[in-house]
Amino acid sequence: MLAVQDLAARRGDAGLFAEVDFALVAGDALFVRGPNGSGKTTLLRILAGVTQPVAGEVRWRGQAVGPFAPLLRANALFIGHAPALKDELTAEENLASLASLHGARADGGAVREALGTWALARQRSLPARVLSQGQRRRTSLARLQLVSRPLWLLDEPGTALDDAGAATLASALAAHLTAGGIAVIATHQDMPLSAGVSRWLHLE
């Protein structure tokens, strides 16, 4: 469903990667690895449609999708480095706000349930500014449960997560792949998956 052909990217004058090819079908998880600065984030941003590749194209269900293509925005959920939280809002308000930005109907019950899954039930009325890095990351990831999208693009989702958080992430990912979703994940950590097909892409 997600196919990438001859993709190349550069940052400034430096070429990051070239001739990246892969095709993913329902239930596939692609783990992107590589040293710092190898272009993992850029690859994800190209797939999300934020950045224009230097060469090559991205196809979703056979249709070429460029930056900010509506088809891509309706089907992909991109969670980048920055958790996209507002310090002034509570964890609950932040999550509800992000979910509704993605067009998901997020009523109070569903939001509280998602916070519970990510072990944030006690922090739900705390402003995001007092949350720890790990808790901020969890709040940001909790929208995976509220926003239903076939394509997940996760940039270092395990950063700052403790063992329990990493386990929650792994089970959310397994459920997503079992349901026929696709995920592309830039990560340094090993993420053992109980479902789906794990594939690897190494960027130099």
Partner 1 sequence: MSGATAGDGGVWPGVAWSLRRDLRLALRSKAELGVQLLFYAIVVTLFPLGVGADPTLLKALASGILWVAALLASLLSLPRLFAIDFADGTLEQITLSPYPLPALISGKIAAHWLTSGAPLAVLSPLLALEFGLQGPELGVLALGLLLGTPTLSLLGAVGAALTLGLRAGGGALLALLILPLYVPILIFGAGAVEAIRAGVGAGGELSVLGAALLASVVGAPFAAAVAVRIALD
Q: What is the contact surface with partner 1 in residues (CB under 8 A)?
A: 26, 48-52, 67-71, 73-76, 78, 80-89, 93, 97-98, 100-103, 148-151, 179-181
Which CB sits closer to partner 1, 31 or 78? 78
Smallest distance, Å, CB 181 to partner 1? 6
Cβ-count burial 153-166 (b if 16+ within 10 Å, e if not): bbbbbbeebeeebb
Rounded Cα distance, 46 and 53, in Å = 6
Smallest distance, Å, CB 78 to partner 1? 6
Which CB sits closer to partner 1, 140 or 168? 140
Rounded Cα distance, 56 and 36, in Å = 23
Contact 128, 89 (CB under 8 A): yes
Smallest distance, Å, CB 129 to partner 1? 11
Which CB sits closer to partner 1, 141 or 151? 151
Smallest distance, Å, CB 112 to partner 1? 19
Which CB sits closer to partner 1, 120 or 155? 155
Please give the C-alpha separations between residue 146 and each of 99, 133, 136, in angstroms, as whole numbers: 6, 21, 16
Lateral strand order in the sheet of 55-60: 14-24, 2-11, 55-60, 63-64
Which CB sits closer to partner 1, 8 or 69? 69
Smallest distance, Å, CB 190 to partner 1? 26
Contact 139, 118 (CB under 8 A): yes
